[in-house]
Amino acid sequence: MTDTITPLPESETPGEDPPSKEGRRRLRGAGVGLVVPVLALALWEVGALVGVVSTRLIPPPSQIGATLVDLAVDGDLWTHSLATTLRVLAGFVLGAVGGTILGAATGVSERFQSLFDPALQALRNIPSIAWTPLFILWFGIFETSKVLMIALGVFFPVYLTFSGAIATVDRGLVEVGRAYGFSSARLIRRILFPASLPTYVIGLRNGLGLGWMFVVAAEFLGASEGLGYLLVDGQQTGRPAIIISAIFMFALLGKVTDRLLTSVGVRFTYWQDGFTRRGATA
Amino acid sequence: MIELTGVSKRYPSGHLAVSGIDLRVERHEIVALIGPSGCGKSTILRLVAGLDQPTAGQAQVAGHRVEGPDRSAGIVFQQPRLMPWLTVGRNVAFGLDPVDGTPTATSEVIDRVGLGAFADALPRELSGGMAQRVAIARALVTKPPVLLLDEPFSALDAFTRIDLQTHLLEVWEWYQPTTLLVTHDIDEALVLADRVIVLGGTPGPIRADITVDLLRPRSRSDPEFHRLQDLAMGELGRSRQAYQPM
């Protein structure tokens, strides 16, 4: 069986046709979006130059840029970014796999739903960061506890959205499968999963976002490398430029990984007849 | 080909949807079921399709008791219910086993419904009428002996509806499947069916079994067509009076 979802050839991915008017319009849209940040940065820089802003606490953009370059030249930037990214990826994969499996089970089967969902909903109401001390006791302060913390953060949004998406698939479509005498496995594979994919991708994106949030919490609690460590280090040594550089790297990496995830997702959800696709890709 | 004997359906909620229906549809016949809402016409179709089970009596298709959905009947619903992620071709082949096993059957039936140029289109690119044609093609791709139509054109505008009625008859000529059509449109029933069965209210027995002895394609301005319209309307009116419980 070759179908279920027919991936679109790369060249046909919607929204990637630069020679068109549409492409130019999008470029201009991106340009407009840059006006406010650039203006704010310029004001900040000027404020520091004139002395309105204290450079000791709020270093100007030029100084942050220089710090970033220094860190990059040292190699520290890469070491810390890589350590953090690997933690997020490991936690994301673990949490997403768990969320997908349990989400699929509870979405498809009412028995699983009534068995697992109440317990999971109760656990969800505990702020996941509250688990940290326990995780450190159980798994030590090294990688295991960190990755598991992140996985926990990723798990819930993936679980909730996938389970909900499957449970709310149009009954009319499911009935088409039933009219053909599809087995449950076939109903799931041919109808329930593909129909839930767009919402599932949104769940994965939420999960990834939370993964980046949780990695900071995990790295605050004792790490010798990682962007979270860099944050703490900058605070303890009184170097705000380091802190802001680390924040900048979080923003950059978060955006890049989200973009990667969406560009994969869009190739499987291009068939959606939505009001606009920008919400899904931007 | 289709035979219902003493069929009743009571839902677990206690609601009685169909009560003591006896109905025979001969091979290659087109029979329309009309009646006020609540008369159980759609439920009867679902029982024949095997999507529901009767609580009394039995439904038979091709001499076998219907025990669940099987390949002896193709069904078209009021909404096209196409899988939005699949192309027209793959939607038509959706129920085929194995999926890519019989591409010729798929392209043949797509050509028959006049959508040969749209085999690679996605459902969102189709008009309502085109989407319903795809649904018809999907129901017929395995050439099931029975075709079940559940208010197939009632969500379409008047012009598209008339267009698709004509088109359905052309497609039906392909192998003349035994057809059971549920509709609330008397004209539609009279244009398409060999027999029009009027059901009573909430739910009731069969009130009238009208044979439409007119050659196809039928003209709505034919005096006999008008006579049958009045006849069906009269029966429907009476069943509607019976439907008023107060």
- Computed over every residue of chain A, the mean pLDDT equals 85
| pLDDT band for position A3 (cuts 50, 70, 90) | very low
Going by C-alpha positions, the residue among A251, A252, A253, A234 that lies closest to residue A243 is A234
What percentage of chain B exceeds 70 in pLDDT? 95
| pLDDT band for position B198 (cuts 50, 70, 90) | very high
- Phi and psi based region of residue B20 (left: phi greater than 0; alpha: psi -120 to 50; beta: remaining): left
pLDDT for residue B222 is more than 80: yes
How high is the pLDDT of residue A9? 47
CA atoms of B192 and B136, how far apart (whole Å):
15
Buried b (16+ CB within 10 A) or exposed e, B72-109: bbbbbbbbbbbbbbbbbbbbbbbbbeebeeeeebbebb
Q: What tokens does B39 get?
A: 């008369």
| Contacts of A257 by beta carbon, 8 Å cutoff, 6+ apart | A85, A88, A208, A212
CA atoms of A155 and A123, how far apart (whole Å):
11
Distance of alpha carbon B244 from the chain centroid: 27
Nearest neighbour of A173 by CB, restricted to B75, B83, B95:
B83
Q: What tokens does B32 get?
A: 């329309």
Question: Which of B27-31, B97-101, B236-240 has maximum average pLDDT?
Answer: B27-31
Q: Which residues, numbered 157 to 196 in chain A, qualify as contacts with chain B under a Cβ-Cβ cut-off of 8 Å? A: 170, 172-173, 175-176, 178-181, 190-191, 194-195
Provide the 8-state DSSP code for B218: P
Question: With an 8 Å Cβ cutoff, are B75 and A6 in contact?
Answer: no
pLDDT for residue A2 is more than 50: no
At B236 the three-state DSSP class reads: helix
Which residues of chain A neighbour B98 with C-beta distances below 8 Å? 1
Q: What is the pLDDT of residues A63-98, one digit of tens each?
A: 889 999 999 998 888 999 999 999 999 999 999 999
Tokens 């929204």 correspond to A15
pLDDT for residue A49 is more than 90: no
pLDDT for residue A187 is more than 60: yes
> First-to-last CA distance in chain B?
39
Buried b (16+ CB within 10 A) or exposed e, A112-122: eeeebbeebee
Which residues of chain A neighbour B84 with C-beta distances below 8 Å? 195, 271-273
Pair B202, B245: CB distance under 8 Å:
yes
Q: What is the pLDDT of residues B138-184, one digit of tens each?
A: 999 989 999 999 999 999 999 999 999 999 999 999 999 999 999 99
Global pTM?
Answer: 0.79
Q: Could you tell me where the DSSP H helices lie in B70-214? A: 88-92, 103-112, 128-140, 158-172, 186-192
**Closest residue in A to B68 (Cα–Cα):** A181
Is A3 an 8 Å CB contact of chain B? yes
CA atoms of A182 and B220, how far apart (whole Å):
41
Neighbours of A260 (CB within 10 A): 11
CA atoms of B162 and B167, how far apart (whole Å):
9
ipTM of the complex: 0.87
Cα separations (Å) of B173 from A59, B130, B179?
Answer: 81, 19, 12
Residues from B contacting A (CB-CB < 8 Å) are 49-51, 68-71, 75, 77, 79, 81, 83-87, 90, 94-95, 98-100, 122-124
Provide the 8-state DSSP code for A131: G
**Closest residue in A to B81 (Cα–Cα):** A173
pLDDT for residue B74 is more than 60: yes
Pair A173, A116: CB distance under 8 Å:
no
DSSP string, A59-75: --HHHHHHHHHHHHHHT
Is A5 an 8 Å CB contact of chain B? yes
Question: With an 8 Å Cβ cutoff, are B84 and A272 in contact?
Answer: yes
Q: What is the pLDDT of residues A257-271, one digit of tens each?
A: 999 999 888 887 878
**Closest residue in A to B84 (Cα–Cα):** A271
Q: What is the pLDDT of residues A93-145, one digit of tens each?
A: 999 999 999 999 998 888 999 999 999 988 988 887 788 888 889 988 888 99
Which residues of chain A neighbour B79 with C-beta distances below 8 Å? 172
In a mutational test of the B interface, the residue from A3, A174, A190, A196 whose CB has the highest number of chain B CBs within 10 Å is A3
Q: Which residue has the higher pLDDT, B239 or A123?
A: A123
Q: Give ∠ CA A224-A230-A232 in degrees, rounded to 5.
A: 90
Q: Give ∠ CA B199-B205-B210 in degrees, rounded to 5.
A: 50
Is A75 an 8 Å CB contact of chain B? no
How high is the pLDDT of residue A23? 66
Pair A228, A219: CB distance under 8 Å:
yes
pLDDT for residue A15 is more than 50: no
Question: With an 8 Å Cβ cutoff, are B81 and A172 in contact?
Answer: yes
CA atoms of A123 and A35, how far apart (whole Å):
43
Question: With an 8 Å Cβ cutoff, are B69 and A179 in contact?
Answer: yes
